[in-house]
């Protein structure tokens, strides 16, 4: 992992950023392979683009980080194009969003983003060590009216507000979780959500061979000590931020309160589509 010091001169810093590549090599959750990821800053307003190795042709396929390119949301967010897929993009997108990195070219030599410890920390550590300054974007985009999405017992609302915030309410039939709610906005430290790890039932993880990689829920506790007493609900907020980034711009730019009740990737991606529609109206 290269450590790139920031030059003092602003112009030199900008130039260096445009050329800087931060690299990471880590194990994939499902492929169990070591996957190389190279992150390069893209040109202004180009958005986040993945360049994914297509194993059949040994060439790279460009897949934009947009809701239109989402092909699966069952366990994680999967982007796809021309038969090439990239799984588990949400934690990386959350890290980039919270760091204010809106224009990136991300080259991935495998079918999924490395999982790290199941939080977004591998990526934020990488940005920090490379000397990339974290910038919280100003919330400038008005939401003219509420967007209300419901699917079964899950809901996701976007309400007009004077700043960006995310709120999540979960209800898991587990003695250490139960009903939990948590919120995040830019006045709070990003580590309150970027360090929160993914979780799931031990029996599901055993079925998938993941029990050693991530936090699993046993009948009355967890297989690993938690970083926060309410780490699972904080991870849900992290997922929500990463999923909303699929609207095509940094979602922190919206003056909106996002309230998720039992939500998940599927309804989040639907919201990202609706936000993209709002943006196309603003542009026209
Ligand atoms: Zn997640």
Q: How far is the CA of 191 from the centre of ligand 1 (A)?
A: 15
Q: Do the beta carbons of residue 163 and residue 139 sit within 8 Å?
A: yes
Helices 121-129/90-99 angle, 10° precision: 40
Which pLDDT score, from 0 to 100, does residue 56 have? Answer: 87
**CATH architecture of the domain with range 10-129:** 2-Layer Sandwich (3.30)
Assigned CATH for 141-283: 3.30.1700.10
Q: How far is the CA of 27 from the centre of ligand 1 (A)?
A: 16
Which pLDDT score, from 0 to 100, does residue 1 have? Answer: 39
Could you give the C-alpha distances from 87 to 30, 70, 73, 201, 205, in angstroms and in order?
A: 9, 10, 9, 20, 17
Q: How far is the CA of 284 from the centre of ligand 1 (A)?
A: 34
Q: Do the beta carbons of residue 49 and residue 32 sit within 8 Å?
A: no
Catalytic residue, from 91, 167, 205, 265: name it.
265
pLDDT at 85 over 50: yes
Q: How far is the CA of 96 from the centre of ligand 1 (A)?
A: 14
Tokens for 283? Answer: 């542009």
Place of tokens 């890290």: 95
pLDDT at 171 over 50: yes
Could you give the C-alpha distances from 67 to 46, 130, 161, 176, 273, in angstroms and in order?
A: 16, 29, 23, 33, 6
pLDDT at 45 over 50: yes
Tokens for 40? Answer: 């390069």
Domain ranges within the chain, ordered by starting residue = 10-129, 141-283
Q: How far is the CA of 198 from the centre of ligand 1 (A)?
A: 5
265 is catalytic: yes
Three-state DSSP class for 51? strand
Percent of the chain with pLDDT over 70: 93
């Amino acid at each position: 992992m290269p450590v790139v010091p920031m030059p003092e001169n602003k112009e030199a810093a900008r130039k260096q950023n445009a050329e800087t590549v931060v690299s990471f090599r880590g194990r994939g959750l499902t492929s169990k392979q070591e996957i190389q990821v190279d992150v390069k800053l893209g040109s202004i307003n180009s958005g986040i683009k993945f360049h994914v190795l297509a194993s059949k042709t040994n060439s790279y396929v460009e897949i934009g980080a947009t809701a239109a390119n989402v092909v699966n949301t069952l366990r994680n967010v999967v982007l796809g194009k021309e038969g090439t897929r990239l799984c588990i993009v949400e934690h990386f997108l959350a890290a980039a969003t919270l760091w204010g990195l809106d224009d990136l070219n991300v080259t991935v030599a495998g079918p999924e983003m490395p999982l790290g410890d199941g939080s977004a920390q591998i990526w934020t550590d990488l940005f920090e060590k490379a000397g990339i300054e974290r910038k919280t974007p100003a919330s400038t985009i008005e939401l003219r009216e509420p967007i209300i999405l419901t699917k079964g017992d899950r809901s996701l609302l976007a309400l007009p507000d004077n700043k960006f915030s995310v709120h999540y309410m979960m209800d898991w039939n587990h003695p250490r979780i139960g009903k939990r709610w948590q919120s995040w906005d830019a006045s709070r430290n990003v580590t309150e959500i970027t360090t929160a790890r993914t979780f799931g039932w031990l029996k599901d993880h055993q079925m998938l061979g993941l029990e050693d990689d991530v936090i699993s829920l046993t009948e009355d506790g967890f297989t690993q000590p938690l970083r926060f007493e309410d780490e699972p609900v904080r991870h849900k907020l992290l997922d929500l931020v990463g999923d909303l980034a699929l609207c095509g711009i940094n979602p922190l730019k919206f003056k909106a309160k996002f309230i998720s009740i039992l939500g998940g990737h599927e309804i989040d991606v639907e919201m990202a589509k609706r936000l993209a529609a709002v943006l196309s109206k603003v542009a026209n």
